[in-house]
Amino acid sequence: MELVKIHGHTYYIPGATNTGVFTTKSGYCVLIDSGINNTVAHKISKVLAEKGLKPRYLLTTHGHADHFGAHNLLKELYPGLEILASPGEKVYMENNLQATTTLYGAVPYDEIKVPLLFARSTAVDITIAPGPLKLLDQHLEAIATPGHTAGHLAFLTPDGVLFSGDAVFDQGILAKYPLPFLLDIKAELATLDVIAGLEIKYLLPAHGQEVITEVDPVLEANRRQIASCLDIIVELLSQPLTREDLLAQVAILEDITMDIPQYFLNLSSLSAFLSYLKDEGRISCSVENGKLYFFAI
Ligand SMILES: [Zn+2]
């Protein structure tokens, strides 16, 4: 792992989850997201030590384990490091069963509690709301970007770099995951418009290796993928299908393979698309013989 400069005082450490680093002349820095586990925390710490940097604040875009699973160890390595997150995401970070319980619909069986979905519970020191964020005498900004999760925040540095967490997926991630993980389609579409309206020079999603300088085509790719998923679902629902059968058909069409955790992630995301279509009046549903069927209208 290495420290890569984006612009001015804004850097990042590339990884499976990219970690943003905003530096100041004092040697203290602000981190944005960490990673999935202790191994990542040690790697981040090594990179920072090589550059003489000491993290003072750790911002969290959202409460998914691959974004905060390394927080606890970083806090142990750097006493005084304060962890920040929105109130909505704090709930997931401070209760490590919350994410899998939400996904499964009840307390999950152990096989679902994989590292991607289940990290050590992590105390949030400071809850933050969208708006200006003064840290280390520097003016950053937290931007409400719900859709992937309800309390998702993106962070804008004074150098015009937006760390967008999982609010935007780059084209590589969209190709890999035809059914992108979203909780709220309407909110996500509004978030893409919000990001389009920001004055930013660089965009760095949490996943993907490229710093994005042409923001509009990436936002458009996200919109197109959502529109495509909606169309595929409506088309398949020309005949009534249960949610599980619909997922099976989407998986065949889009060549999606799943293990058990991925099955629940995809089912959750599919449910978000169904909610959106139902509220838009494009589909309906009914219970027949103990099965919930969705169908196009
Ligand atoms: Zn996420």
pLDDT digits (tens, 9 = 90+) for 130-179: 999 999 999 999 999 999 999 999 999 999 999 999 999 999 999 999 99
Which residues share a beta bridge with 89?
Answer: none
23 and 169 share one domain: yes
Query: 140-146, long-range: CB within 8 Å, 24+ apart, which pairs?
Result: 140/22, 140/30, 142/59, 142/86, 143/194, 143/195, 143/198, 144/191, 144/194, 145/61, 145/191, 145/194, 145/195, 146/184, 146/187, 146/188, 146/190, 146/191
Task: Give yes or no: residues 213 and 270 share one domain.
Answer: no
Q: What is the pLDDT of residues 102-133, one digit of tens each?
A: 999 999 999 999 999 999 999 999 999 999 99
Same domain as 241, residue 135: no
Residue 147 maps to which CATH number? 3.60.15.10
> Which structural domain, as residue segments, surrounds residue 259?
236-296
Query: Could you give the CA distance from residue 113 to residue 97 in angstroms, rounded to a whole number?
Result: 8
The tally of CA atoms less than 13 A away on the side-chain side of residue 153 is: 26
Q: Could you say which of 227, 256, 286 is where a domain stops?
A: 227
Does 260 share its domain with 138?
A: no
Quick: pLDDT tens for 65-106.
Answer: 999 999 999 999 999 999 999 999 999 999 999 999 999 999
Q: What's the one-letter identity of residue 1?
A: M
212 in the same domain as 121: yes
The CA 116 to ligand 1 mean position distance, Å, reads: 9
Last residue within a domain, chosen from 206, 227, 248: 227
pLDDT digits (tens, 9 = 90+) for 166-218: 999 999 999 999 999 999 999 999 999 999 999 999 999 999 989 999 999 99
Last residue of a domain, one of 198, 227, 256: 227
As for how many domains the chain has, the answer is 2
Q: Determine the distance separating the centroid of ligand 1 and the alpha carbon of 240, expressed in angstroms.
A: 31
- How far, in Å, is the centroid of ligand 1 from the Cα of 149? 7
The helix (run of H) or strand (run of E) holding residue 141 is strand 138-144
Q: Report the amino acid identity of residue 296.
A: A
